[in-house]
Amino acid sequence: MKSALPWLLIPLALLGIWFGMDLTDAHFTVKYEPNTDMDQWCDVSGTFNCTAVARSKYSHISLSEDGTPIPVSLPAVGFFALLALLGGLAGLTSDQEKRNPILALAALVLVPALAFSLYLLAVQVFALKTFCIKCLLLDATVLGAFIVAIVSHGGGMSAVMDSMKRIPKGTLVIALLLGLVVNGVYWSSYSGKVDTQEAKNAAIAAARGDSKPKDDHAGHGHAAGEGHEEEKSLEDLSPAEQEEVKKQLAEILAQARAAIGQFYSEYETFPKKELDLNSFDGVKGSTDALVRVVEFADFECPHCQMAAPQVKDIVERYGDKVEVVFKNYPLGKKCNADLSRDMHPDACEAAVAVQCAGRQGSYWEMHDIVFATAAEGESIGTRRLKKIAEKLNLDKNQFGACLTDDTAWNEVREQVADGKAAGISGTPSFFVNGVQMPSPHPAFVEAAVRRELIAKGVTDLPPDQDGVFGN
């Protein structure tokens, strides 16, 4: 039985390779394919959410400011290829004395892998307070392989340490070279895929007439994988890539037109609510506007983070025709006591921080930076909020005192109560002239804005270049 144990390293290594590639593909999906989440089975709650972990700053390593960040899961592919080789060599060696140095080498290379797994687990426990199920399964694979290597060797750790003195140098060199070559090839493929996708995204945006996202806060940084590519157009792509982009764009627009058409056909059936407004709500745009958009949002909510710049763009394009009212609805138990679990632990304090910034005339500046910071996977806890306040030149003593002020916290709690009274079921939730939007996507918000304006006789609307709204 013991002689067959080393063969277990091979299926464990293959499983590790699969997890490494799957997590790397998932990282690519959430970072470079817009408005996409990972597998639904991996996003089961606020506590177990692979997408949130993949969007965090801990999911990648940036070797340079302009280079493509390396997903932390990518090196696992080459590492487990190395382990598969060692497992095969150990399984093919019938002499236990010759097998033990190979098993000792397997245990040796697994030690840093275990240490890195523990580090990432600590990040999920203490920094993110969110777990990636696939990451945990990969960690379990590393631990399982280490146990198999030790048990297969026998004699305990002292015997393994003794065998390390007899590790064949040739086997060590070949194993390391294999790992490096596999990772090098995989990294080359991955980075090329990123470059192509970024070029496609830029070309699609250019074809749709979308402006490049503005960096309103110089020195704040970009989201991982963004901002280091020069602006591209269709002409910068190969003919095959151009055709693919055109096909993707046509599919996106066809789906959008169909969705907006159905939205308009059902518009009269959407519930309409009388929403209470507070003097401390965030307000942007003209108070004489014909259309009022009310948003309930959470600063740690990924979909809220994606929606924020799009809502800002709607206000800018529609000018004094639209007023936006922002209400906090954090999914944190400190200010939303009815929650069964603390989904977003820092969201309440972030909401309070925005209210506090508003007292010093910087409500929307703080709002935008907190959303941008969270979207980059950065913490929005107390220390970061105070640093943002310093960047905005707020009075730090006044701001610090406000963060613990019952009045500011009660403002957020009152906004939460407004959301409950309106019957919202998640964030972001939008109301356009009181009409509750059935989807959190800002495209439906704009569709409703246009419909409301047309109903009031307004004809001077921003151009609908893609014919998505049909008006």
Give me the chain's average pLDDT, please.
Answer: 88
* Token pair listed for 439: 């989807």
Mean of pLDDT values over 241-248: 80
**2-197 and 272-455: identical CATH topology:** no
Distance CA 250, CA 8 (A): 49
Mean of pLDDT values over 278-282: 97
471 band by pLDDT with thresholds 50, 70 and 90 = confident
For 436, phi then psi, to 5°, come to -80, 125
Mean of pLDDT values over 403-413: 97
- At residue 218, the pLDDT reads 33
- At residue 230, the pLDDT reads 47
Among 114-128, 232-246, 406-420, top mean pLDDT goes to: 406-420
**Percent of the chain topping pLDDT 90:** 66
On the question of pLDDT at 344 being above 80, the answer is yes
Mean of pLDDT values over 270-288: 94
The count of other CB atoms within 10 Å of the CB of residue 88 is: 16
72 band by pLDDT with thresholds 50, 70 and 90 = very high
Distance CA 84, CA 257 (A): 50
- Across the beta sheet with 435-436, the strand order is 282-285, 322-328, 291-297, 429-432, 435-436
- At residue 227, the pLDDT reads 39
On the question of pLDDT at 289 being above 70, the answer is yes
Distance CA 304, CA 311 (A): 10
pLDDT digits (tens, 9 = 90+) for 159-184: 999 999 999 999 999 999 999 999 99
Q: Measured between alpha carbons, how far is residue 156 from residues 72, 94, 100, 107, 163 in Å? A: 31, 20, 12, 12, 11
Distance CA 248, CA 240 (A): 12
On the question of pLDDT at 223 being above 50, the answer is no
Distance CA 44, CA 54 (A): 15
Class (C level, CATH) for 2-197: mainly alpha
On the question of pLDDT at 229 being above 50, the answer is no
More confident residue, 55 or 469: 469
Q: Which amino acid is at 405?
A: D
Among 205-209, 339-343, 364-368, top mean pLDDT goes to: 364-368
For 417, phi then psi, to 5°, come to -60, -35
On the question of pLDDT at 305 being above 60, the answer is yes
21 band by pLDDT with thresholds 50, 70 and 90 = very high
pLDDT digits (tens, 9 = 90+) for 187-200: 999 998 888 888 77
- At residue 256, the pLDDT reads 86
Domain boundaries along the sequence of the chain: 2-197, 272-455
On the question of pLDDT at 457 being above 70, the answer is yes
- At residue 425, the pLDDT reads 83
On the question of pLDDT at 226 being above 60, the answer is no
CATH topology of domain 272-455: Glutaredoxin (3.40.30)
Question: Which of 112-116, 327-331, 377-381 has the least mean pLDDT?
Answer: 377-381
8 band by pLDDT with thresholds 50, 70 and 90 = very high
- At residue 235, the pLDDT reads 66
Q: Measured between alpha carbons, how far is residue 44 from residues 39, 130, 343 in Å? A: 10, 11, 12
Mean of pLDDT values over 139-148: 97
